[in-house]
Structure 1
């Protein structure tokens, strides 16, 4: 790192420590810009991939009222993606070429469990590679993934990057409406003897997938995000807050909270047993 870059970094870190926001590319170090773009691409790609996964359920929703609900949720996700891509354009990302270059309709087979791995080269959170095959799946996306995204994006509302911070209030309000839609349906399905078993099966399948999206505790990348003010909390801290939030609605629905063992702990256990 050259002297000018060191001075720039010191100035940037001072601003962040003083609670000031970064407003322009000129204020950014290369490290800051690279990590900011990575996080924002993850959000933008996930919003668009999520919307594309929801679209078929406009036609397959159980009632005409739900057709409108699903269409509104899909529209919200496309809007969120566009808001984020617009910010990325201002940072020099060619977003239209990006969207044309990736298949955001791509989904893995029903038998595939990705764990913490990826299925393609776009930056969507890997939960958006799984297919939504049933209404129970759609509801679990609202309950779990929209809730998980909300917990992750809480830090973005306090991001050191001002333009991102300012758009998050509107995005978060809509995400919370999606969660409320899912919660109402989960309670309805869980308390109905005809649907309780299928709802529990979907919960058992989707909960571990969503728990995996938060990343490993105290990861090096998360440490960098926190240093730069792009995140405030460790991955595992966010995951535990999400888990307790899910537990409340699962109990209201009369369902059983699923177990989850992190992949990294499972690998350690397997190594101990084999050793």
Structure 2
């Protein structure tokens, strides 16, 4: 295995593996405390358990490259150098939790859909086997929270307020357009698109869903101008 390929594959998997543990922390330390009822608290615990299972799958792949990830288990989320997600820590209410899972976890899902076609087969297999299926459920839960809220004018207004605040941060989850590492991932087949390409794909995909809910983002006006 070429050294550059090994280094890139290891870095990509470390980011993902840390992210799974941080995701579990987010569900138990942030979303659980915001949950409006016992059922939603239970769901938060279920989702956290799934994130830990995803960590275990990812850790096995890294072990195949002689990378020991057990130290991550003892780390506070702020001690994890590869995966920083301050967005979730700033979620202020249950509506913002819904927006994050509907859209923020949809960003994660877009990356995972690329990973399932990764040139590093042990990595791609874990997404086909389990992780993508679970992530679809996470996104669907967030969508249901927002869809139900948008059933009333007041709820839609609250959802729009949450979207207005979080939308720029959600787009930021894709990383820098000019990232040299993302271009190298594409070069070696670890990913199919660069950060900027994947962000544009996501925006085109999500705008009709937001529009159907009666929600708006600035990109809708840009798209309308381009089509006029």
Give the TM-score normalised by structure 1.
Answer: 0.73
Q: Please state if 1:38 is matched with 2:38.
A: no
Q: Which residue of 1 aligns with 2:41?
A: 67
Q: Which residue of 1 aligns with 2:98?
A: 139
Q: Which residue of 2 aligns with 1:215?
A: 175
Task: Pick which of 210-219 and 86-95 moved more.
Answer: 210-219
Q: Please state if 1:158 is matched with 2:131.
A: no
Q: Which residue of 2 aligns with 1:19?
A: none
Q: Please state if 1:204 is matched with 2:178.
A: no
1:198-240, Cα deviation, whole Å (9 max, x unpaired): 2112111221112112233353222211121101112222111
Q: Which runs of 5+ in 1 are unaligned?
A: 1-27, 107-119, 261-275
What is the rounded CA distance, in whole Å, between the counterparts of 2:131 and 2:197 in structure 1?
A: 22
* Paired residue total: 218
Contact 2:26 2:88 in 1 (8 A): no
Q: CA RMSD in A?
A: 2.1
Q: Which has the larger radius of gyration?
A: 1
1:96-130, Cα deviation, whole Å (9 max, x unpaired): 22332x321x4xxxxxxxxxxxxx65211535563
Contact 1:139 1:186 in 2 (8 A): yes
Alignment of 1:164-179 (within 5 A): 164-169=123-128, 170-179=130-139
Change (3 A) 1:236 1:130: same
Contact 1:125 1:213 in 2 (8 A): no
Where 2:153 maps in the other structure, the secondary structure is coil
Alignment of 1:194-273 (within 5 A): 194-217=154-177, 219-258=179-218
Q: Give, in angstroms, the shift of residue 63 of structure 1.
A: 2.6
Change (3 A) 1:173 1:213: same
Contact 2:96 2:162 in 1 (8 A): yes
Q: Which residue of 1 aligns with 2:224?
A: none
What is the rounded CA distance, in whole Å, between the counterparts of 2:212 and 2:44 in structure 1?
A: 23
Q: Which residue of 2 aligns with 1:264?
A: none
Change (3 A) 1:229 1:47: same
1:221-266, Cα deviation, whole Å (9 max, x unpaired): 2221112110111222211121123212211221112459xxxxxx
Where 1:255 maps in the other structure, the secondary structure is coil
Q: Which runs of 4+ in 1 moved over 4 A?
A: none
Q: Which residue of 2 aligns with 1:149?
A: 108
Q: Give, in angstroms, the shift of residue 41 of structure 1.
A: 0.9
Change (3 A) 1:198 1:258: farther
Change (3 A) 1:93 1:144: same
Give the TM-score normalised by structure 2.
Answer: 0.86
Where 2:58 maps in the other structure, the secondary structure is helix
What is the rounded CA distance, in whole Å, between the counterparts of 1:208 and 1:199 in structure 2?
A: 15
1:48 alignment partner, one of 14, 21, 32: 21
